[in-house]
């Protein structure tokens, strides 16, 4: 998750201070809004992260974002005006098991960190891949598979597919990587367990994936649409993994009909009402309206509408590709876990009952849209 801890109107210049790049120093192109970009050095990029300035690092995806500005039109999708598969979904929801989620999150958050550009990031990605593969192996799924989506850095994104009768695709995403912003120094050398950010989202969609594969109709490929579960690399330094995935999908004319991001699903602030944070800026409004129906039908807690700003998680990459995307957060935005981006983001702060509510949403969302013909 990529947060701003300072006033959003903070300018890039004031965040960086005066600086002159050294000759031949590598420059990164950062996008701060639909219209604002700037080139910075590696040290300046890190300083912006420390200051809490949100951006998307488009250095290797400039053409994709130039096309996105012209495109600026999402795929024409009409979402259902009501839920239609209550009997099937309600039969699956009791199979969700928070103990499974905890048993995966514990070792996942015990990696010293999951920084995208080091051995920990690579090894944690490989470990997560093995967990996804084990679920597929223990199911009776026909044609389900998992693959690495490789990048030019050590950590890989992971894509699991449950084929349907069409190539129209419903995507559920989370991100694997972690970052520490509470200490000085190279983030690759610091401890950041990332239990909530975004280990909670990782295990939420993994458990939903397991339960969906337990449904014979889904497992046999008889859903109308294909379901994909994505675990993105390198979200924290500027949505690097998800940009690469959705640029590839756009270039290959992939028919993504909906994308739901689950970035932080495991914290409830003491003294607040347990609820979802339903993000309303930089998202598909029709898809978000459908998600309200799914929450009301399949979850036991309400939602509150809120905003998170530009480029706050991987759904932004899907939206820039022209795909309808949405983001459901763990709380109202100001009530999020205070431990993220630090060594204190450990499993002890994760509320698995709350993460289970997110898993219910994912199962309902995936099943409803997976079985909706002619999206």
pLDDT tens digits, 54-77: 899 999 998 888 777 666 555 679
pLDDT category of residue 6 using cuts at 50, 70 and 90: very low
Answer whether residue 213 shows pLDDT above 80: yes
Residue by residue, DSSP assigns 148-214 as EE--SSS--EEEEEE--SSS-EEEEEEE------SSSS-GGGS----IIIIIIHHHHHHHHHHHHHT
Q: Quick count: other Cβ atoms within 10 Å of Cβ 106? A: 15
Which residues on adjacent β-strands are paired with residue 160? 146, 229
pLDDT tens column, 83-92: 999 999 999 9
For residue 3, what pLDDT is reported?
Answer: 62
Contact yes or no for 336/3 (Cβ under 8 A): yes
Measured distance CA(141)–CA(157) in Å, rounded: 22
Q: Tokens for 214?
A: 């337990």
CB 247 within 8 A of CB 314: no
pLDDT tens-place string over residues 120-179 = 999 999 999 999 999 999 998 989 999 999 999 999 999 999 999 999 999 999 999 999
pLDDT of residue 186: 82
pLDDT at residue 187, rounded to an integer: 84
Q: How confident is the model at residue 24 (pLDDT cuts 50, 70, 90)?
A: low
Which tokens in the block code for residue 265?
């699903």
Q: In this predicted structure, what is the pLDDT of residue 9?
A: 37
pLDDT of residue 142: 87
For residue 185, what pLDDT is reported? Answer: 75
Q: How far apart are CA 2 and CA 5, in angstroms?
A: 10
Residue with tokens 């969906």: 212
Q: Is pLDDT of 5 > 60?
A: no
Which residues, 6 or more positions from 130, have their beta carbon under 8 angstroms from its beta carbon?
A: none
**Residue 371: both structure tokens together:** 């079985």
Phi, psi of 5 (to 5 degrees): -100, 5
Distance CA 144, CA 301 (A): 32
Q: What is the pLDDT of residues 192-206, one digit of tens each?
A: 999 999 999 999 999
Kindly report the average pLDDT of the chain as a whole number: 92
Look up tokens 């876990």; give the residue. 337
pTM for the whole structure: 0.94
From residue 169, give the alpha-carbon distance in Å to each of 173, 225, 258: 13, 6, 7
Please, where are the H alpha helices in the chain? 12-16, 42-51, 62-71, 86-92, 98-110, 119-138, 201-213, 216-219, 240-251, 285-298, 315-320, 352-370
Which position has the higher pLDDT, 52 or 47? 47
Task: Decide the pairing of beta strands 226-232 and 276-279.
Answer: unpaired
What DSSP element (H or E) covers 326?
strand 325-329
Q: Is the pLDDT of residue 18 over 70?
A: no
Q: What is the pLDDT of residue 34?
A: 82
* Phi, psi (degrees; rounded to nearest 5) at 161: -125, 135
- 285 pLDDT more than 90: yes
Domains and CATH numbers, the chain: 12-68 (no CATH), 76-370 (3.40.630.10)
Which letter does DSSP use for residue 22 in this model?
Answer: P
What CA–CA distance (Å, rounded) separates 156 from 233? 6
Which among 173, 165, 176 is positioned nearest to 370, based on CA atoms?
165
């Amino acid at each position: 998750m990529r947060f701003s801890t300072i006033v959003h109107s903070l300018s890039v210049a004031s965040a960086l201070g005066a600086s002159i790049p050294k000759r031949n120093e590598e420059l990164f192109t950062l996008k701060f809004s639909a219209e604002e970009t700037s080139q910075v050095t590696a040290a300046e990029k890190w300083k912006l992260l420390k200051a809490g300035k949100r951006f998307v690092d488009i250095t290797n995806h400039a053409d994709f974002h130039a096309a996105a500005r012209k495109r600026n039109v999402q795929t024409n999708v009409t979402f259902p005006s009501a839920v239609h598969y209550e009997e099937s979904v309600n039969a699956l929801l009791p199979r969700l098991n928070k103990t499974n989620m905890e048993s995966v999150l514990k070792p996942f958050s015990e990696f010293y960190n999951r920084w995208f550009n080091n051995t920990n990031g690579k090894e944690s990605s490989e470990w997560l891949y093995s967990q996804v593969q084990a679920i597929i192996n223990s199911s009776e799924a026909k044609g389900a598979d998992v693959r690495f989506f490789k990048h030019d850095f050590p950590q890989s994104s992971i894509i699991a597919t449950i084929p349907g009768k069409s190539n129209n695709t419903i995507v559920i995403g989370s991100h694997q990587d972690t970052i520490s912003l509470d200490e000085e120094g190279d983030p690759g050398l610091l401890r950041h367990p990332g239990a909530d950010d975004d280990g909670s989202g990782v295990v939420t969609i993994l458990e939903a994936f397991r339960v969906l594969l337990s449904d014979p109709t889904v497992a046999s490929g008889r859903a109308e649409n294909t379901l994909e579960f994505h675990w993105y690399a390198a979200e924290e330094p500027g949505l690097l993994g998800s940009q690469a995935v959705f640029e590839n999908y756009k270039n290959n004319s992939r028919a993504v009909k909906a994308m739901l991001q689950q970035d932080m699903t495991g914290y409830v602030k003491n003294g607040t009402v347990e609820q979802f944070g339903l993000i309303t800026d930089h998202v598909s409004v029709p898809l978000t309206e459908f998600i309200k129906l799914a929450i009301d039908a399949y979850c036991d807690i309400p939602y509150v509408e809120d905003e998170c700003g530009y480029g706050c998680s991987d759904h932004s990459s899907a939206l820039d590709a022209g795909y309808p995307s949405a983001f459901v957060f763990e709380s109202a935005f100001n009530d999020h876990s205070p431990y993220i981006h630090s060594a204190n983001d450990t499993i002890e702060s994760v509320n698995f009952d709350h993460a289970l509510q997110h898993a219910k949403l994912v199962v309902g969302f995936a099943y409803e849209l997976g079985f909706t013909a002619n999206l």
